[in-house]
Structure 1
Amino acid sequence: MSTAPDRAASAELQPLNEAQTGAPQSLVLPHQGPARRRDPRDFHPFLRLNALLADIPPGSSPAPDGKPINLSVGDPQIAPPAYLLEDLTADLGAWGRYPPPRGTNDHAEACVAYLERRYNLPAGWLDPAQHVLPVPGSREGLFFAALALATAGADREPERNAVLLPSPGYHCYMGAAAVAGLAPVFVPATAESNFLPDLAALPAHTLGTSLLAYLCSPSNPQGTALDLEGWRATLHLARACGFALMADECYADVYLDSPPTGALEAAVAEGGSLDGLLVFHSLSKRASAAGLRCGFIAGDPALIERVDACLRIGGAGVPLPIQRAGTRLWRDEALPETSRAYYRDLFARAERILAGRYGYSRPSGGFFLWLDVGDGEAAARKLWAEAGLRVLPGAYMAGPADLPDNAGARYIRVALVYDGETTERALARLVEVLGDGL
């Protein structure tokens, strides 16, 4: 990544618009002056996928019963540990009480202990009482963070109305920007940039009018991870240009080889300040407990306070029994290794079938395939009609339908979550149907 631009280059700020950024049209949605509000449905990939396939009956899938196989959603199929039920039912009366918004001491301490172990952080650097906020999954935290910063009142410079988004990326980022009335700036994360968004390459004005940036590592969908120097450069850039960095690390424990570096490690290396940084973690992937809705935010205490205030008004707290279960799951170090072994096996099977096809490469983490099939929408329709395989067009992760030069248009995302035999049958059929691509 290149070094941060001179902050003085962004001194005179105007409301962000396409002409002022000097960026390619694919980076910024057309609008003039303050960001125009978008319909959040424009950014929801699965609603768009439903519409794409609505008129097509599914073909017979390679499953033994011939029923469709849904490869579009990263829905873990591994059963969570049996003790989860014990923790959820240990105190039935707790389900009848509102949880404290900042969570229980035990849960906060478990979250900090997890971060210290996972990222080799200095003991005592993070304060459970100040630096941690429980959220019902990382998605909810990511969404409310944009609302919290957009409604910061007198503390927010009105000209700062841009949100920097990896394109392709998680649809929650785009939807949060839309609902908050902010201007989404789609930063391509393509093969040319190792599937990571190059924020430093953006024009100085765009950076100077940015309120926040989302960055996912390992990334969804490509599975690319930032190294320590990449995180440091990104954090330095954010602070130099005055925007907050939202580090989505929900796949932090789903890696194939070495554990990916995290943004908090970069904060330590940059001197220990947490200013302008929030990290987001979830048990959905770490513990295969997506339905539990348990995660946390950690970082800048001033930003934590703002997100907390928004959640108290329009969000949901994490119920006490779920925090009890989460406390145990965050402390369980054997659990994620079992999951990693499962996904390593699936990627080994995928490599045997897909090596040399569709730009396949082994990712750093996550459990998605990001396949260049030439035309993602056409491939999704063909696979559904001929093989009962439901995959997600990459374009739906890279912006709304009216975004020119969509960075994901050639791709499909395929979730590797089913057992090995089902995965092999599905991928072999995918190759049979698509051949060398469309």
Structure 2
Amino acid sequence: MPDKSNQPRLEQLGAYPFERLKDLFDGHTPNPELPHIDAGAGEPRLPLPGFVADTLNKNLGGFSKYPSTIGGIELRSAIAAWLKRRYNLAEVDPVTQVLSANGTRESLFAIAHALVNPDTQNGERPYVLMPNPMYQIYLGAAITAGAQPWFLPCTQASGFAPDLASVPEHVWANTALIYVCSPSNPTGWIADEAYYRELLELADRHDFSIVSDDCYSEIFWQKKPAGLLEVAEKLGRTDFSRCLVMNSLSKRSALPGMRSGLIAGDAELIKRFTKLRSYTGPATPLPLQHVAAAAWSDEVHVAQHLDVYRQSLKAFFGVYGGDIPAGSFFVWLPVADDEAFALAAYEQQAVTILPGTYLGAEDSNGINPGAGFIRAALVDGPDAAKELARRLKAVRI
């Protein structure tokens, strides 16, 4: 990306992807003869799990009390129990190894401010590594925390795996943390155990932390994804040293409006993050904590949602053609010109999708790996997915 290091940190950030999309569509109108399909945002639009309303109503009195920023012990215990079940872990301490979060967006952004020392070392600021293309919160976190972002190219040639071999030794030596996202937003790539093992070996050798964005962990086509904590424990790292995972009820439970998630892992890193959050004060209201505890404790609704996502993926690719991604509910499709295609889809087919360019960043060679792709979210069920595929196939640029 262009060197903006002399600008104030906030000014170094470009417009957020959806602001860029708004600018792209400015002055253009969708086809009025078709109902609009919004496949731009990853916002699940499935029915609320049945327990939500009852649990909320039983605990409305909690709105009259200040909630703790770390989350109540009932919620943290439910999270710890879920992590143990999901990843077959021997032990997760809800007191020292778990925090509640206001969704993964908040925690993924704030963690860089807890773990990055922006002072120069050996003449340069520390690096924060991230996949490219990516969830743009990683980039915003790195820049505002005073770090240098380093982009790991995720290309079709590598199956969209972030390329660890591309990182120079001097960058590894000055790395503060690395973000990994599996299943990936936007590509659908899934990390295997070997990938996590390599990351852990690199983290030990070069003294950095691993932050795993597991937001899509329960949305997969065939094989349930492995997790960072799971691999760490298999390697004897029962303290999860250097490891933090973030997850959310937004995708798992189709509850994006609750803004509720988890942070778990290395107790020392949790302690540092707790100190930061004691000042920034993001606390989940107590009634919502009760709903969240119920959600982490129930797998029936998760299985139902997964079935809908699988049906949607099958319906989409049955019409559009191509290979179903390993994970997430996004489709990452190659096109000749992603911005032109997104605009044409809007004008011709009343469809909102996101150009891949907006989810990537230019590397030192001026290459944006997101260019030439579009991202569409399958969040409205299989019938809508089939119609989306039909309309995207009809787009002409």
Q: Is the 8 A contact 2:69 2:281 kept in 1?
A: no
Written as runs of structure 1 = structure 2, the 5 A alignment for 1:103-252 is: 103-122=71-90, 125-150=91-116, 159-252=124-217
> Partner residue of 2:301?
335
Structure 1: how far apart are the matches of 2:7 and 2:248?
31
> Partner residue of 2:255?
289
Q: Which of 96, 101, 116 is matched with 2:64 structurally?
A: 96
Written as runs of structure 1 = structure 2, the 5 A alignment for 1:309-348 is: 309-348=275-314
Structure 1 gaps, min length 5: 1-27
Shift of 1:306: 1.7
Structure 1: how far apart are the matches of 2:25 and 2:281?
33
Structure 2 gaps, min length 5: none
> Partner residue of 2:391?
429
Q: Is the 8 A contact 1:248 1:279 kept in 2?
A: yes
Shift of 1:90: 1.3
Structure 2: how far apart are the matches of 1:238 and 1:135?
25
TM-score, normalised to structure 2, is 0.94
Shift of 1:213: 0.7
Q: Which of 378, 381, 387 is matched with 2:349 structurally?
A: 387
> Partner residue of 1:3?
none
Q: Is the 8 A contact 1:29 1:184 kept in 2?
A: no
Q: Is the 8 A contact 2:119 2:125 kept in 1?
A: no
Q: Report the residue type matching 2:269 in the other structure.
A: L
* 1:171-219 deviation per Cα after TM superposition (whole angstroms, max 9, x unaligned): 1111111221221111111112211112233100111111111000000
Shift of 1:411: 0.3
Q: Is the 8 A contact 1:244 1:276 kept in 2?
A: yes
Identity of aligned residues (%): 35
Structure 1: how far apart are the matches of 2:86 and 2:356?
31
Matched, 1:69 2:42: no
Structure 1: how far apart are the matches of 2:323 and 2:32?
29
Greater Cα offset, 72-81 or 96-105: 96-105
Structure 2: how far apart are the matches of 1:322 and 1:83?
12
Q: Report the residue type matching 2:347 in the other structure.
A: A
The number of residues matched between the two structures is 396
Q: Is the 8 A contact 1:43 1:174 kept in 2?
A: no
Shift of 1:422: 2.3
* 1:332-378 deviation per Cα after TM superposition (whole angstroms, max 9, x unaligned): 011111011001111111111121xxxx3211111000000121111
* 1:411-433 deviation per Cα after TM superposition (whole angstroms, max 9, x unaligned): 00010111322222221111011
> Partner residue of 2:14?
42
Shift of 1:41: 5.0
Greater Cα offset, 232-241 or 406-415: 232-241
> Partner residue of 1:84?
52
* 1:223-274 deviation per Cα after TM superposition (whole angstroms, max 9, x unaligned): 1111111111112112211111100001111112121000011111222242
